[in-house]
């Protein structure tokens, strides 16, 4: 292959077969230049929420963004019905792709999956975590519990999720097909969430075993999971950094992409790979 003087983002989609009949659809962005890779895990709003971040990161690293089985019409075997199952599946994915030193970036329930992956990573596949307004732990105080979107209308959830109107979806413009797809995604999310839906009551107590560097980025105006909840998440890890992001809600990587990228870049430069240059 001939080297080129100009760069552009490449984007491909493929399906990877894993153990026990599970297949995962992954979107890949950028080149595999030096083997540096990030795995981006979406939340309940679906894989499209990670597209902008994956595209931006692909200027520097190879970015892989899976679609959780069952989301966007992808197949989900009946046995794959928990966050723990997804965590093991994505570790299997890293094994299959033979990737090590991977930064796993997860938003909302994707952050929960990332934390569970770190607890189960027996082969050193993961090098660092970045949690973006993650859920998964049980809050110590009732006032800081994660809001349950199953009890609310989509417009209410959107109002709590985004700091500014410009980023809130206009559900009145959705087609019947789009509404059905969104409802199906939420049903799949409920399957993975289980009885606790947004958390595992024992997860916080296990996170002291995750010795990897962890970055916790939090939109300060999140109405789903408060910054206090986020600080509690960061405090549960022995090697963590908490970075609040102003003018952002539950999706800081969407509302404040530049600030989120800046936080990740500084984390890499000062903690993950100090002393190296891009």
What integer best gives the mean pLDDT of the chain? 93
pLDDT, position 142: 65
- Measured distance CA(233)–CA(197) in Å, rounded: 17
| Structural domains in the chain, sorted by start | 11-271 (3.40.50.1820)
Tens of pLDDT along 78-90?
Answer: 999 999 999 999 9
Within 34-193, strands assigned E span 37-41, 62-67, 102-107, 126-132
pLDDT, position 2: 30
Give the model's confidence band at 21: pLDDT under 50 very low, under 70 low, under 90 confident, else very high. very high
| Closest to 264 measured CA to CA, from 86, 101, 141, 103 | 103
Instruction: Work out whether strand 11-17 and strand 23-29 pair parallel, antiparallel, or are unpaired.
Output: antiparallel
pTM to 2 decimal places: 0.94
Determine the average pLDDT of the residues in 101-120. Answer: 98
Give the model's confidence band at 212: pLDDT under 50 very low, under 70 low, under 90 confident, else very high. very high
Tens of pLDDT along 247-257?
Answer: 999 999 999 99
Is the pLDDT confidence value at 14 over 50?
yes
DSSP secondary-structure letter at 270?
I
| Closest to 49 measured CA to CA, from 158, 198, 191, 138 | 158
Q: Which DSSP string do the residues of 183-249 spell out, in sequence order?
A: HHHHHHHHHHHTTTSSB-TTHHHHGGG--S-EEEEEETT-SSS-HHHHHHHHHTSSSEEEEEETT--
pLDDT, position 6: 39
- Measured distance CA(97)–CA(45) in Å, rounded: 26
Determine the average pLDDT of the residues in 80-108. Answer: 97
| Closest to 203 measured CA to CA, from 228, 224, 232 | 232
CA angle 151, 153, 155 (to 5 degrees): 140
Is the pLDDT confidence value at 7 over 90?
no
């Amino acid at each position: 292959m001939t080297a080129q003087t100009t760069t552009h983002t490449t984007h491909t989609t493929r399906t990877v077969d894993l153990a026990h009949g599970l297949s995962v659809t992954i979107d890949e962005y950028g080149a595999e230049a030096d083997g540096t890779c990030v795995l981006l895990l979406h939340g309940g709003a679906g894989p499209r929420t990670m597209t902008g971040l994956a595209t931006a990161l692909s200027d520097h690293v190879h970015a892989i963004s899976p679609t959780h089985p069952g989301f966007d019409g992808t197949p989900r075997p009946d046995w794959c019905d928990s966050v723990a199952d997804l965590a093991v599946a994505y570790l299997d994915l890293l094994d299959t792709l033979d990737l090590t030193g991977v930064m796993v970036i997860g938003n909302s329930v994707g952050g929960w999956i990332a934390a569970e992956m770190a607890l189960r990573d027996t082969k050193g596949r993961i090098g660092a975590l970045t949690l973006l307004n993650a859920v998964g732990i049980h809050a110590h105080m009732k006032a800081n519990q994660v809001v349950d979107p199953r009890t609310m209308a989509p417009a209410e959830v959107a109002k709590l999720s985004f700091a500014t109107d410009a980023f809130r979806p206009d559900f009145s413009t959705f087609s019947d097909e789009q509404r059905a797809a969104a409802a199906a995604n939420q049903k799949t999310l409920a399957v993975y969430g289980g009885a606790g839906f947004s958390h595992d009551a024992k997860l916080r107590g296990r996170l002291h075993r995750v010795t990897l560097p962890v970055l916790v980025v939090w939109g300060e105006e999140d109405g789903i999971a408060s910054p206090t909840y986020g600080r509690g998440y960061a405090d549960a890890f022995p090697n963590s950094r908490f970075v609040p992001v102003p003018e952002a809600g539950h999706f800081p990587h969407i509302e404040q992409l530049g600030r989120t990228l800046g936080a990740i870049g500084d984390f890499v430069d000062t903690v993950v790979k100090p002393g190296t240059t891009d």
